Structure 1
């Protein structure tokens, strides 16, 4: 990471919501990755360029970007001044529970979905920044809850319910079968031959189908899957060395290199900022 780049991250104990404010100078910010959370971010300064949902987006000051759990995205700064942004990471169960109370009838077997990835809504931006400030600044509980209620009220204008599906008809079945296999065996030292055999296809065609469907080849997807789970374990106070061992990384340094590329900070720094536990 550029030594001039900086990240300020905290976690709200009551809701588990992470709040992050960061700045990246020109060039690469972070590799393609995903989160287990719903992301609500506001660009403060500069141009924040990222790829998501098979499209390139340029977020400028005041714009809001909305990213669902599992959506692969990256980040870069195309201009010399770089970019600054604020982000809230909303736990899916918390968000669905809270938003469901705002709808008269939340449909069964449906999941929340963002209608668009990048939008211009000054009232939503204001609500997101107010919620960020309340949580990041550890305001009184009533202030934090009121700020979140205001954010949720504005988010209803940008969310929709989509039916949960075991398979996505838009994606090749073999790619989805491979993804399910990776999720079921993500801690093991898998080989492409094993994955291809489980899917009934040769590994070359599998790699092409998988990358076309998910934007990453299987090996990179597996790394990101492990990183997403590492993030949760570290936030709970687990030691980086134990996380690396439990998730199948060669060692702590191996986990650290990938974690830094994806999230812009080391596992130890992330653990400390989320858990407030000593190194």
Structure 2
């Protein structure tokens, strides 16, 4: 990591919301995804990321909003780098909270984010106020009020879409492979094992998978393990135990991948999110 890069991360015990403020110069992080909704804004500089097959440029005051599973990277294309603040919103929590704001939420639906990057000064203010309330561990009533204002602002940027196990636009073989990886994420899976489970050869499988999900199967499996690692570390599990449970060779192997994806060590993440000592 660049010597001038820094990250300040905390987790709210009541809601599970994580608040992050960070500064990066040069390369920020490798392609990865989260199982949370991400909403934030660029404070200063130029923030560049690839997501959903496009390159996005965020400058000061722009809002970015990603849904769970959106694979994205990050870097600073200009000399001074960029600073941003962001909230990670747990998916089941957000869907539950948003549903209470609608008189009748549609059945068997999930929340989607149609637009990743946009100008919305009012939403920037609401993100900032929610961030400050959560990050400073303000009074519960202050935090809840700021979060409710944020949720109210997000409703215009979200849409309900039908929840479906199958996505007709994606190759069936890729969806089968994804489901197999989710079901066996701690196992030492080979490409031949995956191809046999999907009923095709491994070359066709790898091509279809990368086209569908933007990552080859091995990288997707690592991202699955890292997403699970975040959950376990946030509950206070020791990094060495997390590495062993999730099939990483050792703690340093987990640490290398974790830093490349999130910019912090597993130990730092555990300490800031679980509030437990090292």
Q: Which residue of 1 aligns with 2:197?
A: 198
Distance 1:74 1:104 in 2: 37
Matches within 5 A, 1:256-275: 256-275=255-274
3-state SS of paired residue (1:189): coil
Q: What's the TM-score once normalised by structure 2's chain length? A: 0.99
Shift of 1:70: 1.0
Q: Which residue of 1 aligns with 2:182?
A: 183
Distance 1:61 1:13 in 2: 30
Q: Which residue of 1 aligns with 2:47?
A: 48
Q: Which residue of 2 aligns with 1:230?
A: 229
Corresponding position: 1:19 with 2:19: yes
Q: Which residue of 2 aligns with 1:243?
A: 242
When the two chains are superposed, the root-mean-square deviation of aligned CA atoms in Å is 0.6
Distance 2:46 2:67 in 1: 21
Q: Deviations over 1:97-142 (max 9, x none)?
A: 1111111210000001112101111101110010000000111111
Matches within 5 A, 1:128-139: 128-139=127-138
Q: Which residue of 1 aligns with 2:275?
A: 276
Where structure 1 has 5 or more consecutive residues not aligned to the other structure, the ranges are none
Shift of 1:85: 0.3
Q: Which residue of 2 aligns with 1:68?
A: 67
Shift of 1:94: 1.1
Q: Which residue of 1 aligns with 2:209?
A: 210
3-state SS of paired residue (1:101): helix
Distance 1:32 1:176 in 2: 20
Shift of 1:173: 0.5
Distance 1:183 1:52 in 2: 21
Distance 2:21 2:9 in 1: 6
Corresponding position: 1:3 with 2:11: no
Matches within 5 A, 1:82-101: 82-101=81-100
Q: Which residue of 1 aligns with 2:78?
A: 79
Corresponding position: 1:148 with 2:156: no
Where structure 2 has 5 or more consecutive residues not aligned to the other structure, the ranges are none
Distance 1:158 1:104 in 2: 18
Distance 1:168 1:52 in 2: 18
Distance 2:27 2:167 in 1: 32
Runs (4 or more) in structure 1 with deviation over 4 Å come to: none
Shift of 1:53: 1.1
